[in-house]
Chain A
Amino acid sequence: DTEVTQTPKHLVMGMTNKKSLKCEQHMGHRAMYWYKQKAKKPPELMFVYSYEKLSINESVPSRFSPECPNSSLLNLHLHALQPEDSALYLCASSLGQGSGTGELFFGEGSRLTVL
């Protein structure tokens, strides 16, 4: 059982749609991450939130907009996506800077298809 919960598991959207991916953890972790994973590739880091503040943005296009409403929740807002954005989007959490070892706890992912 994963302790990082992602919704929805599958999402199909058109290029003009606005949708959101949601992630929740209740492990008391203070760092949360969004990764993008294409088929047969490793996860690519998109964003890192540390103590609810955006600490890393890996030059992700503005059509992806992250939000961290509180220490347990992480959202990824999607708007005007392109077909090449179709991928598995993984949320992860870790204890946080200065704590632990950076071990990541992943959710099961949200499979996004952009038509």
Chain B
Amino acid sequence: AQSVTQLGSHVSVSEGALVLLRCNYSSSVPPYLFWYVQYPNQGLQLLLKYTTGATLVKGINGFEAEFKKSETSFHLTKPSAHMSDAAEYFCAVSDPRGYQKVTFGTGTKLQVIP
């Protein structure tokens, strides 16, 4: 069984400030990890993913995340928030042995204050 916990259902940052969205996972095997973004009334779009190899992964729109096995974490960061980053962010995990079933976290709504 696998699960994802996102700490903070709502995060507010000032424009230009660091964005940090937290994600911890639980999995019996080394997982595949994803961050998706959802803008209002739209579908989800992949920001970045970790499968194997380098633990620091870079994604679109200046976001990056680091896989830390010892902490079972996959936190999402961006050095400088932009107004256009305001959206809902979902962390997700899948099992490499049978990854049709993706488990999503409960989501974090990011508000960017001008």
Q: Knowing A42-B106, A103-B49, say if A111 contacts B100 (CB, 8 Å).
A: no
Is the CB of A71 closer than 8 A to any CB of chain B?
no
- Residues in B41-90 with C-beta less than 8 Å from chain A: 41-46, 49, 51, 90
Size bin of chain B's contact surface: 20 to 34
Q: Is the CB of A102 within 8 A of B107?
A: no
With a cutoff of 8 Å between Cβ atoms, the chain B residues found around residue A31 in the complex are: 100
Q: Which listed residue, A6, A50, A104, A111, touches B44 by the CB 8 Å rule?
A: A104
A12 to B43, CA, bound (A): 19
Q: Does B114 contact A (CB under 8 A)?
A: no
Complex-state Cα separation, A48 to B101, whole angstroms: 8
Task: Mark each residue of chain A from 55 to 70: 1 if its CB lies under 8 Å from any CB of chain B, else 0.
Answer: 1100000000000000
> Which of A2, A33, A41, A42 has the most CB atoms of chain B within a 10 A radius of its CB?
A42
Encoded as 1 (CB less than 8 Å from any A CB) or 0, chain B from 79 to 114 comes to 000000000001000101011111011110000000
CA distance A108 to B38 in the complex (A): 10
Seen from chain B, the residues whose Cβ lies within 8 Å of a Cβ on chain A are: 32, 34, 36, 41-46, 49, 51, 90, 94, 96, 98-102, 104-107
